[in-house]
Amino acid sequence: MKRIVFFFEVHQPRRIRKFSVRDIGKNRDYFWDAKNLEIIDRVAEKCYLPATQALIDGNIKTSISISGVLLESLVKNRSDVVEKFKEYFQKTGGEPVVETYYHSLSSIWNEREFRQQVEKDSKMTETVFGKTPTTFRNSELIYRDDLAAVVGGMGYRNIITEGTDALISSHSPNYIYSSKYGQNLLLRNYRLSDDISFRFSNHSWTEFPLFADKYARWLEETPGDIINLFMDYETFGEHQWRETGIFEFLARLPEEVRKRGMEFSTISEVGELLEPKATLSIPNYISWADFSRDLSAWLGNDMQRDAFEDLKSFENCRDVEIWRYLQTSDHLYYMSLANVQDQEVHAYFNPYGSPFDAYIHYKNVMEDMRIRCFGENFKKKK
């Protein structure tokens, strides 16, 4: 039996407000919480509630990662969304997946900080949903070999990452693999995933319109044991609006999948049922972001690298919680100067109007943080 493995990233950052140079040393209110709540309320109504109900109605078993930053806001402000996710996990057997609590880049520079964020995320997930995660996904599917050693040492058996062109040229994404350190490694089938998340409403796409029966036939005709469909949860209702027919597609898909002899499974289930096809070594960082699928979405230009180095310098700041909110990878993502196609996506998410404005606001916050953490007379090391 071929198994369809849906994984959804559910995340909203705690965006910083437009912080001017005049605010430095005077205003410690860094976060744009009114805007953040406005966005969460909108996405809750357009995506989180209707999409989760559709998964319940279709008994679609999936794996879902909800970042700690978002989950704590939902617990505080949108308990109805939390209850809907609880209902989903209880009724379908879907599984919560753990990540870094702050959706950060901590894995690439600070193992101690990374471990603490993953442990905090796991505890939050267990407290809210009553389930202990056994699968790990890093922020934006960032991965290389040494991450598996750390994550495996923390007890996680399954890890997911991107099926980059370099990998799938010799290893189909439609099988389970073993990491260099023995964990199950699942690769995203980015072509079939992006057919839903990016191309679904594109009228110039040669396969438009995409109906559930056509898509299920593609899944059936794709060789392999599993089809890994990993995407933003906001695909349903937020990125692809209800008017595109995305919810009708989601409602019809279970019947079309099952009548072709396929079934939906969680990452943990296929990790237990299937044997790895081979061992994969991935020595360099990969991710699911942008055409390059590496770290350049966050560290690809001088602004991003400067902001990241600044961020790292606050490791010993006494306001560690504020510092961790500032680690959320979205802040660096907004500063991207990518190619035209990728930049359209970055601009879609950027609340500041330009990557340069995102950089200026962030750097102003960093300067205020320097005073907050180390005092007025502290001189930044060159």
Question: Domains of the chain (ranges plus CATH)?
Answer: 3-23+30-273 (3.20.110.20), 296-374 (no CATH)
Distance of CA 230 to the CA centre of its chain: 9
**Which pTM does this prediction carry?**
0.95
- Positions of the chain with pLDDT under 70: 376-382
List pLDDT tens digits, range 186-215. 999 999 999 999 999 999 999 999 999 999
| 248 carries an active-site annotation | no
Candidates 15, 19, 12, 18; CA nearest to 369 is 19
Q: Are strands 95-96 and 63-66 parallel, antiparallel or unpaired?
A: parallel
Which is catalytic among the residues 9, 95, 99, 140?
140
Q: What is the pLDDT of residue 156?
A: 97
Tokens of 252: 């019809």
Contact yes or no for 63/6 (Cβ under 8 A): yes
List pLDDT tens digits, range 26-62. 888 999 999 999 999 999 999 999 999 999 999 999 9
Contact yes or no for 308/332 (Cβ under 8 A): yes
If one counts every other C-beta atom within 10 angstroms of the C-beta of residue 248, the result is 13
Contact yes or no for 156/137 (Cβ under 8 A): no
Show the CA angle centred on residue 319, arms to residues 305 and 364, nearest 5°. 45
Phi, psi of 347 (to 5 degrees): -65, -35
Q: What is the pLDDT of residue 55?
A: 98
- The contacts of residue 146 (CB under 8 Å, 6+ apart) are none
The answer to whether the peptide bond before residue 209 is cis (omega within 30 degrees of 0) is: yes
Q: What is the pLDDT of residue 382?
A: 40
Phi, psi of 6 (to 5 degrees): -85, 135
